[in-house]
């Protein structure tokens, strides 16, 4: 509420020139614009440049759902000892049975323990920390919570969830993100806010301007911490944490654990955080993964166009490597009759949010994106993720395909391979 003020790649003979395959999917379409795809791809730069991607990790077509362990929660949402108003709002959102991360994390957070939560994407981490923290604030209206996330879109998404859970409670928040005028955020921070949700750079900017003082924020959430580390926010994160009280409640969520992430955990949390890991594997069990081989003079545009003409491709998220490439692909798809939107770094936050909203509300059937959209976003009912360009790393691949097959739903992921 805000104030109004896997298995190995199949072996076999080489594919005939000009054909593409993914199981039974074939090219069979004319070239786009008479310009065949060259088959070359620029080498990735930076920290991932030395990592060779194993194509076999993009194939998982024989998931045996019957052998998957059935999760039996220890609680229902009605069992959690939270304020009756909050319980009513949870029920109004249709929440009945907690996901594994919610089932295990909510009781620990309600008891005030520091948490390290490791879970696959799409498992409900946002509600896992929002529900107990909202209850904490309801018990003490002077409590203030800082939530730090890597991207503008994720901050807005969490703020929207906060508003839904706190309907009718007169709890207040400010969403502090870059890329939009800072004046409105400064105005909002002149008043008392129970939650400040934002990105590291903008939060640090507001602190340096003297309009955000963290001395009374005794709870902090670091969400998608691995992504913030990848994006180079480590110095901003350290600066922000240094402004918080030493005695604080810290919740740390990440989809992956690495040596650097472990170092952050030791640096930012108390000596005995509760570790909750509900990862079932690198990728979601219910995502059917396969590759599309692009060989000879085949056109990736034609192949994608042919796929999107199939009825089962209902709501499709397509990932590209570069901003210009993503925009060009979205324009090409529109010219071919596909309702599409694009999200990338050359668009301002309001344009990116509009594209996301169009995709969420089905005004756009296809969303073409760079990896800015790969982390943390909850986009319902994505039927397919297509990697038009190869990801830079397997971690990026995992987060891309995590946009489909969320919760108990099934999804499909296809990766174009030259």
- pLDDT of 26 reads 40
pLDDT one-digit tens code per residue, 275-299? 998 865 555 667 899 999 888 777 9
> Is 15 within a domain?
no
DSSP 3-state of 249: strand
Measured between alpha carbons, how far is residue 183 from residues 155, 193, 296, 350, 400 in Å?
A: 18, 16, 54, 16, 34
pTM of the full structure: 0.70
Report the CATH number that the domain containing residue 244 is assigned in CATH. Answer: 3.40.50.300
* CA–CA distance, 35 with 24 (Å, rounded to integer): 25
266 and 292 assigned to the same domain: no
Residue 3 pLDDT > 60, yes or no? no
Is-contact 58 393, C-beta < 8 A? no
Mean pLDDT of the chain: 83
143 and 242 assigned to the same domain: yes
81 and 51 assigned to the same domain: no
Give the residue from 277, 296, 328 where a domain finishes: 277
- pLDDT of 180 reads 87
Specify the number of domains making up the chain: 2
Q: What residues make up the domain containing 328?
A: 20-65+282-417
pLDDT one-digit tens code per residue, 188-245? 999 999 999 999 999 999 999 999 999 999 999 999 998 898 889 999 999 999 999 9
- pLDDT of 256 reads 80
> Is 40 within a domain?
yes
237 and 384 assigned to the same domain: no
pLDDT one-digit tens code per residue, 127-169? 999 999 999 999 998 999 999 999 998 999 999 999 999 999 9
243 and 299 assigned to the same domain: no
- Three-state SS string over the chain comes to CCCCCCCCCCCCCCCCCCCEEECCEECCCCCCCCCCCCCCCCCCCHHHCCCCCCHHHHCECCCCHHHCCCCCCCCCHHHCCCCHHHHHHHHHCCCCCCCHHHHHHHHHHHCCCCEEEECCCCCCHHHHHHHHHHHHHHHCCCCCEEEECCCHHHHHHHHHHHHHHCCCCCCCEEEECCCCCCHHHHHHHCCCCCEEEECHHHHHHHHHCCCCCCCCCCEEEECCHHHHHHCCCHHHHHHHHHCCCCCCEEEEEECCCCHHHHHHHHHHCCCCCEEEECCCCCCCCCEEEEEEEECCCCCHHHHHHHHHCCCCCCCEEEECCCHHHHHHHHHHHHHCCCCEEEECCCCCHHHHHHHHHHHHCCCCCEEEECHHHCCCCCCCCCCEEEECCCCCCHHHHHHHHCCCCCCCCCEEEEEEEC
> Is 232 within a domain?
yes
160 and 109 assigned to the same domain: yes
Q: Over pLDDT 70: what percentage of the chain?
A: 81
129 and 260 assigned to the same domain: yes
Residue 110 pLDDT > 90, yes or no? yes
> Is 9 within a domain?
no
> Is 3 within a domain?
no
pLDDT one-digit tens code per residue, 111-130? 999 999 997 667 789 999 99
> Is 373 within a domain?
yes
Give the residue from 259, 277, 295 where a domain finishes: 277
Chain centroid offset of residue 230 CA: 14
Give the residue from 245, 277, 309 where a domain finishes: 277
pLDDT one-digit tens code per residue, 364-418? 999 999 987 666 577 888 999 999 999 888 878 888 888 888 767 889 999 999 8
**What are the b/e assignments for 36-53, b being 16+ CB within 10 Å?**
bbeeeeeebeeeeeeeeb
CA angle (308 as vertex; 43, 281 as ends), nearest 5: 60
């Amino acid at each position: 509420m805000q104030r109004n003020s896997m298995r190995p790649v199949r072996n076999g003979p080489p594919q005939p020139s000009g054909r593409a395959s993914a199981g039974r999917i074939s090219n069979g379409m004319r070239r786009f614009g008479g310009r065949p795809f060259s088959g070359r791809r620029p080498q990735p730069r930076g920290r991932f440049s030395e990592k060779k991607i194993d194509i076999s990790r993009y194939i998982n077509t024989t998931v045996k759902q019957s052998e998957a362990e059935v999760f039996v929660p220890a609680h229902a949402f009605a069992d959690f000892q939270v304020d009756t108003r909050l319980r009513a709002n949870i029920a109004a959102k249709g929440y009945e049975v907690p996901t594994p991360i919610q089932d295990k994390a909510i009781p620990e957070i309600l008891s005030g323990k520091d948490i390290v939560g490791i879970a696959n994407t799409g498992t409900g981490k946002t509600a896992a920390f929002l529900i107990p923290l909202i209850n904490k604030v309801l018990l003490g209206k002077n409590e203030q919570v800082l939530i730090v996330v890597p991207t503008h879109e994720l901050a807005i998404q969490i703020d929207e969830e906060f508003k839904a859970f706190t309907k009718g409670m007169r709890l207040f928040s400010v969403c502090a993100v870059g890329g939009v005028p800072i004046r409105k955020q400064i105005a909002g921070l002149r008043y008392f806010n129970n939650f400040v949700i934002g990105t590291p750079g903008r939060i640090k900017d507001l602190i340096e301007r003297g309009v955000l003082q963290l001395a009374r924020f005794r709870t902090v959430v670091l969400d998608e911490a691995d992504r913030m580390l990848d994006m180079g926010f480590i110095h901003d994160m350290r600066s922000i944490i240094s402004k918080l009280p030493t005695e604080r409640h810290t919740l740390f969520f990440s989809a992956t654990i690495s040596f650097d992430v472990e170092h952050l955990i030791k640096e930012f949390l108390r000596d005995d955080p509760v570790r909750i890991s509900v990862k079932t594997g690198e990728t979601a069990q219910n995502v059917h993964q396969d590759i599309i081989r692009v060989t000879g003079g085949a056109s990736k545009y034609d192949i994608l166009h042919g796929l999107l003409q199939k009825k089962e491709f209902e709501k499709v998220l397509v990932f590209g490597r570069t901003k210009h490439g993503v925009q060009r692909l979205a324009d090409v798809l529109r010219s071919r009759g596909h309702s599409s939107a694009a999200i990338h770094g050359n668009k301002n936050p309001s344009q990116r949010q509009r594209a996301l909203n169009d995709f969420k509300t089905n005004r756009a059937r296809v969303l073409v994106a760079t990896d800015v959209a790969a982390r943390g976003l909850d986009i319902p009912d994505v039927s397919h993720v297509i990697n038009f360009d190869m990801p830079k790393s397997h971690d990026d691949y995992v987060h891309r395909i995590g946009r489909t097959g969320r919760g108990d739903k099934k999804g499909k992921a296809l990766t174009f391979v030259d």
